[in-house]
Structure 1
Amino acid sequence: MMSSDTTRENPEFLVLPTMAGAPQVPDDTSSARDHVEVALLPVTGDNGEAQLTALAFTSVPLLVEAMGERQPWVIIPTGELERCLVGSGARSVLIDPRPADGGE
């Protein structure tokens, strides 16, 4: 089961950054409409080992602030998050991550 880092109340929907724009759907494969490659990042866990982590945002403005306005994204119901990440390799989800201050 995935862990989730969040300080916000339970939002109805989450915005996930994706690797590309809207998926290309072959005419003869309707199941391809259900697949989007979400962005995963290696994050060092409490045990010191890197694990793939999905990023999720509680609003589009927060995603844009953290990742820029050209970042492709998809909105999913919060209750579907775990199902949507099955098979992705994600071991955790980071909610509303903030960009690092680069000035230190």
Structure 2
Amino acid sequence: MASSGMPESEPEYLVLPTMNGSPLADDTVAVTLVPVTGAGGRDQLVALAFTSVSLLVEAMGEEQPWVVLPAGEVDEALLGSGAEAVLVDPRLAVGAD
């Protein structure tokens, strides 16, 4: 899985926004995937990840549920999720009126 926007020195942990606040019965969480237009105009699903809780809150608000994972385990945790890449510390666009 490709990573984009990764800081030069890889963080020890990443904070991923989730669809639910706590793990499901089988210890899985539903991470937030967003469509992003990639090379050649093709849309792909990417997982969002942040290098700190404060950056997640700044981008997505205080009510956003999240989970912290060791950075080295993120790709494995996303297997089967449909994510084709991980976007680290994205600057999210504010919806236009």
TM-score of the aligned structures, taking structure 1 as reference length: 0.85
CA distance in 1, matches of 2:5, 2:58: 17
Aligned counterpart in structure 2 of residue 62 of structure 1, from 55, 59, 71: 55
The structural deviation recorded for 1:6 is 2.1
The structural deviation recorded for 1:7 is 4.6
CA distance in 1, matches of 2:70, 2:3: 15
Q: Residues 22-73 of structure 1, C-alpha deviation per residue, up to 9 Å, x if partnerless?
A: 0243xxxxxx02x100000010001211000000000000000000000000
Match of 1:84 in 2: 77
The structural deviation recorded for 1:98 is 1.2
CA distance in 2, matches of 1:50, 1:57: 22
Unaligned runs of 5+ in 2: none
Q: 4+ residue runs of structure 1 moved beyond 4 angstroms?
A: none
Unaligned runs of 5+ in 1: 26-31
TM-score of the aligned structures, taking structure 2 as reference length: 0.91
The DSSP-based 3-state class of the residue aligned with 1:61 is helix
**Percent of residue pairs identical:** 59
Residue identity matched to 1:3:
A
Query: What is the CA RMSD across the aligned residues, in angstroms?
Result: 1.4
Match of 1:20 in 2: 20
Larger Rg: 1
1:24–1:84 CA distance, 2 compared to 1 (3 A)? closer
Residue identity matched to 2:3:
S
